Amino acid sequence: MHTHAFKSLLMTCAVVALFFTSHTAGAAVNQLRFETDLGAFAVDLYNDTPIAVANLLSYVDSGFYDDTVIDMKGVLNANESPPIFPDADIIHGGTADSSLTVKPTGTPIINTTERFHSNTPGTFAMDEFFGFYAAQWQINVNDNSHLDGTLTVIGDVSKGMSVVDTIWGLDAYDVLPGVGDPFYNMPLEDLDGDTGTHLPSEYVVIHSVLRNGDTDEDDNLDADDIDTLYDNAGATDILYDIALDHGTSDAGDVDALVRDIFFTEYGDGNLDGKVNPTDLADLTLNWLGSNKGWADGDYNGDGLVNPTDLAELTLNWLFDNGLGAQTAPATIPEPASVALLALGGIALLRRRR
């Protein structure tokens, strides 16, 4: 069987199955990476709180949270007398930079329509004041369900909760005592062992907050980010440390991007959350091509579309992340048969060369 004939066979298989298959878009998660003095943690943002998420991302993309501090723990709205919700088990940020200068924000927005998630342990919420919020955020360390209906919960810590717990476990101090002080009960590392003095080196600093997985830094998650990650294998920049292991960029980071952020599997070339005939058709169009990328069917980052990539697609054939409805009539061709036929063609091709 010649290469051209085999490619025609692949295309026929893909087109026949594609005729019976509906297509729906997948849903990548907006995952934020917080890099602190004590390690990194990741927050997955919810898709059903778009107003609050868009507001937060506007601050992330502007670099607002870079070089800020964890300014409070265990209490909300401490500058009120008495403090509101003094029994809230939270860590809080987004107020000031590492010199404790309060950062100016954009115009606060009012949004009470997205308060339907509970303040359960590990959830991430906007800190609201009479229904308004801007840049300040909190992480619920323990169960704060008594805050339900008063705060907009927009995500949860998906990696690095141990880092959050470490910050929560630090002793807290009133760093700048005074009326209206926003730094009441501020967690400090207390590196000098002197509880009477509070040095900047003791502050828990958030060095950067970025969209985890956006490796090409275009504020958009797509196949180009996977290609860029492959191109930077072995890099030490945190931009490519998707797995948050602080090692060099490797296959584990690609796995984290594909599975934890795109919620899909190898073989899903169009990143719609499914491995199906659409992906097989794209792979077929680029069969034996070079200088290709993920969207073309190159799933291992070697720039080629070849039997190795087809094997990956076959391994995950009909994977569906369940984030979108897919309907198919009972007469759809057996998917496994399509994949096996393709693999059979590869075997014939190898024998006849």
8 A C-beta contact, residue 50 and residue 324: no
Quick: pLDDT tens for 122-138. 999 998 877 789 999 99
3-state SS string for 92-122: EEEEEECCCCECCCCCCEECCCCCCCCCCCC
Question: What pLDDT score was predicted for residue 3?
Answer: 58
Question: What pLDDT score was predicted for residue 173?
Answer: 86
| Average pLDDT rounded to a whole number, residues 142-158 | 93
Report whether pLDDT(235) > 60: yes
Helix or strand or coil: residue 157?
A: strand
Question: What pLDDT score was predicted for residue 114?
Answer: 93
CA distances from 240 to 66, 95, 335 (A): 18, 28, 35
| Average pLDDT rounded to a whole number, residues 159-166 | 97
What's the CA gap between 30 and 225, in Å, rounded? 13
Q: How many CA atoms does the CB half-sphere of 234 hold within 13 Å?
A: 1
| Average pLDDT rounded to a whole number, residues 266-290 | 96
What residues have CB less than 8 Å from 111, skipping those under 6 apart? 51, 52, 131, 133, 152
Report whether pLDDT(24) > 60: no
More confident residue, 156 or 334: 156
| Average pLDDT rounded to a whole number, residues 249-276 | 96
Q: Provide the mean pLDDT of the chain.
A: 84
Report whether pLDDT(353) > 50: no
Percent of the chain residues past pLDDT 70, beyond the cut? 78
Lowest-confidence range among 2-16, 38-52, 268-282?
2-16
Helix or strand or coil: residue 301?
A: coil
| Average pLDDT rounded to a whole number, residues 86-114 | 91
Quick: pLDDT tens for 284-324. 999 999 999 999 999 999 999 999 999 999 999 999 998 85
More confident residue, 130 or 274: 274
Quick: pLDDT tens for 329-344. 333 344 445 445 555 5
8 A C-beta contact, residue 90 and residue 73: yes
Report whether pLDDT(281) > 90: yes
Report whether pLDDT(5) > 60: no
Question: What pLDDT score was predicted for residue 78?
Answer: 58
| Average pLDDT rounded to a whole number, residues 168-182 | 79
| Average pLDDT rounded to a whole number, residues 266-276 | 96
